[in-house]
Amino acid sequence: MSRRQIGLFFGSFNPVHTGHMILANFMATQTSLDEVWIVVSPQNPFKKRGSLARDHDRLHLVELAIGDTPGLRASRVEFDLPKPSYTIDTLAVLRDRHREYDFSLIMGSDNLASLPKWKNADIILRDYHIHVYRRPEYPAGELSGHPHVTVYDAPLMRLSATYVRNCLREGKSIRYLVPEAVVAELEKSGLYRR
């Protein structure tokens, strides 16, 4: 029996939006992956913590966005790891905890281009497959030809979490920008409005 293929989609998801969910669902249903785990990162080493909502609030919104969608799952694995989170450390923990799965990464072509700056990038490229969604404004670069890299033309939205947060702060509608369950929770909680 073949091992289940799990794609890890890392991000701040501050908040999760429709663009994230389209990509996660594309990877779960139109690639060789069996499942996509949306990994909520407490702190990306390349980003400032400033405007981040609390870890558990962002995870809760991801869980609401997923609902009962087959093939998608929220992960809080990085919550208990040292900050900032380094992908290679998270991969080691997951590999140790779930020996029955094969893990791979999901990222945009912008992240693939910056991968050489990551901690232990050579080990990531050697030991893990990387599923890359092409972003037109960011060429995938020389790593797109690596044997462990597969590049996809996934459906993309020009939508950012910053835009969603700005709409919330300004009292503008976020309907259709985030999944319905997330709209309801953000309206109820007032998160990002203050």
Answer for the pair 78, 94: CB distance below 8 angstroms, yes or no: no
Residue 58 and residue 48: Cα distance in Å, rounded?
A: 16
Any idea which residue has 């990306």 for tokens? 44
Helix (H) or strand (E) holding 59: helix 55-66
Q: pLDDT at position 49, please?
A: 58
pTM for the whole structure? 0.94
Contacts of 101 (CB under 8 A, 6+ apart): 3, 4, 5, 6, 94
What confidence tens digit (pLDDT) does each residue in 68-120 have?
999 999 999 999 999 888 999 999 999 999 999 999 999 999 999 999 999 99
Contact predicate 113/144, CB 8 Å: no
Which of 76, 72, 61 minimizes the C-alpha distance to 187? 61
Work out the average pLDDT over 116-129. Answer: 97
Residues 6+ apart with CB under 8 A from 75: 8, 37, 38, 39, 40
- Residue 161 CA, chain-centre distance (Å), reads 12
